[in-house]
Chains A and B, each alone.
Chain A
């Protein structure tokens, strides 16, 4: 049995649970283990969008025009797709500037204008207050209906309830207590209310589960699934017509589109949405999950709206039951007490969640953007001299919360069943949509000015008052109906619902069209008609370029003046309390690598800006500016100076980009230079070695020539035999000298690239036989056996004939020199290996040890002990030979084992054309391979 007491007990238990959750979350937050630091909690808290108006009202709307309720949830989905661009920017701006409300955001953007902040606050209160009343009414109505169980009687026929039994009053009082307890516990510069957010997330879960439970019950409990339900509904002609509702209705699609646009604005600019999405956001990264989780939530809570609406219309065909109550009355009619109770709790959670967040958001606005700016300007109050203002701030907020809830309750009691309350949901949406031009324009367009925003907001709000609120009041019977039918003073063009004769749309679309034209038009026209002043220009840059200037120092660039650290500290302490002020200063000082207090801490532009931002978190941007200005001597920047700073900044960015590029280029050039320098040093060292070796080599023959000439000169008595011998030595040494000089010259030419190469087709067989002919005498003298293996025909190579002979001579004379003295044997062979010819010259001398095998190819290297052995050559021959072979693309190397002779080999690539001609006549060797 559902008694009033049971329902009341359950309600209190539920609200008690909310207190417990919020208390627990706050305790956890104080301990540094936040429970709301999760994208899931963030997404659920965003679902505060779904109020009692969604919970009960969606079905009501669906019952009257079918799918027409859906744009209210599809619109937000489309807007959320833009959140990555729009909300991320708003989040970043708000965090950098410690913005804690919608009013503060707009006021800060347009030069920290207190007037603008106040206007936004007033619009928000007028627009939202009735919406809060609607929630109270939903709770009250659902309670009244539930209490009648098992009868189903509409509240309108129940009559007045005594105040003692007025659920709305009780709920308002409990919510005031909750909001004060968890919304104004202490002054937090970041304005995070973790306990409140945790409770809201829980409420979102409850209302979703409750609604899904009813949906499943109606669809699958009363009927046999969607198909059965829609089939039965289609049997009723009136319901069948609702299934294609966009047809036939005048402006059907236009209404749909405007409702979509309206909801797109609402999801961003309802104060409670701004509160949970921006102010309570603890981590920007949560956005990427919330972007799809929240739409999923909205999809889920809408799936059963149509089934419940049709189910209700089928169950109560006579129209005695208000469609807004189907969610509750269907389980009641089916005698499902517990489900009905769950629905009541779900509706309660939807209503309380909205009221709590909306009240906190509005109280922050009232305190920071309405009351504080006025109080701070009233010099008689001497607020500047009060040591601790935190209690005053908290007091104002608590007062604002109580006042808002009292006003909401009174509106509900007064308006009751009036039209002004029933249709208020969308009317509230239209009110907050007026913020859109000023905010969206403000974060993407630097040209928007304070005057533009003021005029735009005023014009849009004025149209809203005239085309939506005025008709709502008139329909409630508080103004003569002729105002709507004939227009004021009988001027038909000014009829509020057909302004300037625009007819055929529903009142919301009609109001949206005119208010948006007025709002956007005034905002742009007024903004363009006068240039912004220095403050506006500065703030425009801070907001629009938020991603370009990282850190909180972004705004500090614009400040010039003098301040003192103690003044700034005491200012902060007055508004935040000493503990929070100490914390803030410690944070600032440690970021600068200093301790607090530290005399080295300078009251520079950075600190002044930091203090202003901290203060803005507590009392709003406009008030913070006034307060900071009262303790520092500020030089007023002219608009030209602000422009200069901005230009400077953008130029600095460009310069630094260029500079970075230049420095990269410079680094690369430096590396190249270093490398070149290393090479030069190496070459220089080689040259020094070369010069000293050459001089040494030149001196040896010169010394002996000189010695023998001196002997001959000094002693004319030298006998003929001796004399001949001496002259022979002199001649030989001179030849050696000449050869050495020729070779040095030769080497110099080759290495400098100045050598002349006479490239012709050379037959290596000819080269070998010519050289052997020239060397024949030498071999014969030394009694060396020469064996030659030459193929019949080899391809030609491209080379310089004389150079090739030079190489061959060098190798053969080396072989002759180092051959076994008594039993010398030299083998010469020529073979074709792939695309080159290979010549091997093998001797049977003592061989070359492996450590010498590379050295013999370097300049002036001679194998053997230079002290005991007489040098056998210049030491340049092999080096030059290798240069020559390499010049023609070949390779010169040696293979040797000590004691087993040495084999010098070189290859020269064959000429391609010659090779092509040759392959038609294969050589015996080539064939045998």
Chain B
């Protein structure tokens, strides 16, 4: 049970991280004109942050026992 709880807690923490990353005001910081490697800043941020969140989910799902 404790194993699941600790895994569950990490996932809940990831969800909260996501809620912060994809919400005002963090989102507003990237809502500016300009580009990163040719991609508009907001688009680049959203996809990179999304990918990073999924990467963290991979780590928690596959490694935490």
Q: Which residues of A line the B interface, CB within 8 A?
A: 67, 70-71, 74, 77-85, 88, 225-228, 230-231, 234, 240, 243-247, 253, 256-257, 260, 288-289, 291-292, 295-296, 299, 302-303, 306, 547
Contacts and interface: CB of A to CB of B under 8 A. Distances in A.
A125 B23 CA distance: 33
Contacts of A84: 4, 7-8, 11, 61
Given A85-B12, A247-B31, A253-B28, A226 B58 contact: no
A288 B18 CA distance: 19
Interface residues of B, number: 35
B11 A78 contact: no
Given A227-B39, A244-B42, A81 B27 contact: no
B54 A253 contact: no
Nearest to A257: B23
A81 B11 contact: yes
A253 B24 contact: yes
Contact of A244 (B1, B4, B32): B32
Contact of A226 (B23, B38, B46): B38
Contacts of A230: 35, 38-40, 43
Contacts of B61: 84, 288-289, 291-292
Contacts of A74: 18, 22, 46, 50
17 contacts: A77-B50, A79-B15, A81-B11, A84-B11, A85-B8, A226-B39, A227-B35, A230-B40, A244-B32, A244-B40, A244-B42, A246-B31, A253-B23, A253-B28, A260-B23, A291-B57, A302-B47
A225 B35 CA distance: 14
Contacts of A231: 35, 38
Contacts of A306: 43
A85 B11 CA distance: 8
Q: Per DSSP, are chain A's interface residues mostly helix, strand or loop, or mixed? A: helix
A916 B54 CA distance: 71
Contacts of A243: 33, 40, 42-43
Interface string B16-32: 00110011100110011
A668 to B, nearest CB: 24
A79 to B, nearest CB: 8
Nearest to B40: A243
A67 B22 contact: no
Contacts of A67: 42-43, 46
A78 B43 contact: no
Nearest to B38: A227
Contacts, number: 108
B50 A299 contact: yes
Contact of B28 (A82, A234, A246): A246
Contacts of B35: 227, 230-231, 234
Contacts of A71: 22
B1 A547 contact: yes
Contacts of A291: 11, 57, 61
Contacts of A85: 8, 11-12
A88 B24 CA distance: 30
Nearest to A229: B38
A292 B57 contact: yes
B56 to A, nearest CB: 9
B65 to A, nearest CB: 10
Nearest to A225: B38
Contact of B15 (A81, A253, A288, A302): A81
A234 B11 CA distance: 38
A81 B62 contact: no
B38 to A, nearest CB: 2
B31 A70 contact: no
Contacts of B57: 80-81, 291-292, 295
Contacts of B15: 78-79, 81-82
Contacts of B58: 292
A84 B8 CA distance: 6
Nearest to A224: B38
A62 to B, nearest CB: 10
A295 B54 contact: yes
A240 B32 CA distance: 11
A768 to B, nearest CB: 68
Contact of B18 (A77, A83, A226, A240): A77
A689 B4 CA distance: 62
Contacts of B18: 74, 77-78, 81
B33 to A, nearest CB: 6
Which 8 pairs between the two chains have the least Cβ-Cβ distance? A227-B38, A81-B15, A243-B40, A253-B24, A78-B18, A84-B11, A292-B58, A292-B57
A264 to B, nearest CB: 9
A82 B12 contact: yes
A299 B51 contact: yes
Contacts of A79: 15
Given A78-B15, A230-B40, A288-B61, 5 more contacts: A84-B11, A84-B61, A226-B37, A244-B32, A256-B23
A227 B32 CA distance: 17
B28 to A, nearest CB: 7
Given A291-B61, A292-B61, A77 B53 contact: yes
Contacts of A227: 35, 37-39
A288 B64 CA distance: 11
A244 B41 CA distance: 9
Contacts of B23: 253, 256-257, 260
A230 B40 CA distance: 7
Contacts of B12: 81-82, 85
A223 to B, nearest CB: 11
Contacts of A256: 23-24, 27
Contacts of A70: 46
A225 B39 CA distance: 10
Max chain B C-beta neighbours (<10 A), residue from A228, A230, A244, A299: A244
